[in-house]
Amino acid sequence: MSEGTRITVGVGSRRDPKLAAVRGALQRLAPLDRRLASAEIAARDVASVAPAMPLCIDELAEGARARAHAVLERLAAEGTPASLGVGLEGGLEVRGTGRERRAFLMAWAYVTDGRRGALGCGGGLELPQAIVEEVVDQGVELSQAIDRFAGETDVRSRQGAWGVLTRGLVRRSESFEMALLNALAPFYNPESYPY
């Protein structure tokens, strides 16, 4: 991000928790670069480039990367080039088998300026076995499983599974915000990440 240029951040999703994460991360980084506080956010739905329900870190990382590149391409085709492309992807990391199997809900971010890119993770939250069985064994999308589990509708557009399982202490947007701050580190701290 060169000094003096307006910053447009392309986001590969229109979901409110993901957009809240981007706004939150930009506000937190504003003391390092005032332009970030007023950055334009250009959100586009590019979900078709990502897996519907990632079940491992490789799929999460690839989904985030694909979203970031797809939104940069879409914006360039529209004549609205972005300074950064952001892809945010949520899903599971499944470990072990049988009684030892555990699944962790994770949030991943990928940021690119078109030349370089970086990944970041927003932590992991172990899922209850009932949800793991429904999602991993039965192929139900997590959004549907968590709606049933919580007895609510469209949980992922609000607090997400994170909010349901932590009693509101960690919301979906916060997990994505942490992932994004981590992915942005090479961009706001270039001295530590020379390319």
Q: What's the token pair of residue 126?
A: 């172990």
pTM of the model: 0.91
4, pLDDT greater than 60? no
Q: Is residue 121 part of a domain?
A: yes
pLDDT digits (tens, 9 = 90+) for 162-179: 999 999 999 999 999 999
Burial category of 6 from C-beta neighbours within 10 Å (exposed 0-12, middle 13-18, buried 19 and up): exposed
Q: Can you give the pLDDT at residue 98?
A: 82
Q: Is residue 194 part of a domain?
A: no
Q: Is residue 62 part of a domain?
A: yes
pLDDT digits (tens, 9 = 90+) for 85-98: 999 999 999 998 88
Query: How many domains is the chain built from?
Result: 1
Q: Any idea what the CATH number is for the domain that residue 64 is in?
A: 3.90.950.10
Q: Can you give the pLDDT at residue 158?
A: 85
Q: Can you give the pLDDT at residue 3?
A: 52
What is the SS3 assignment for 110-159?
EEECCCCEEEEEEEEEECCHHHHHHHHHCCCCHHHHHHHHHCCCCHHHCC
Single out the residue of 101, 97, 47 nearest to residue 71, CA to CA. 47
Q: Is residue 195 part of a domain?
A: no
Q: Is residue 108 part of a domain?
A: yes
94, 56 Cβ separation under 8 angstroms: yes
Instruction: Centre a 10 Å sphere on the Cβ of residue 126 and count the other Cβ atoms it contains.
Output: 12
Q: Is residue 42 part of a domain?
A: yes
Q: How many residues does the chain have?
A: 195
pLDDT digits (tens, 9 = 90+) for 6-62: 789 999 999 999 999 999 999 999 999 888 888 999 999 997 887 788 999 999 999
Q: Which domain holds residue 129?
A: 8-188
Q: Is residue 193 part of a domain?
A: no
Single out the residue of 86, 125, 95, 85 nearest to residue 107, CA to CA. 125
Q: Is residue 56 part of a domain?
A: yes
Q: In what order do the strands lie in the sheet with 40-43?
A: 40-43, 8-11, 84-95, 102-112, 117-126
DSSP category for residue 100: G
pLDDT digits (tens, 9 = 90+) for 118-143: 999 999 999 999 999 999 999 999 99
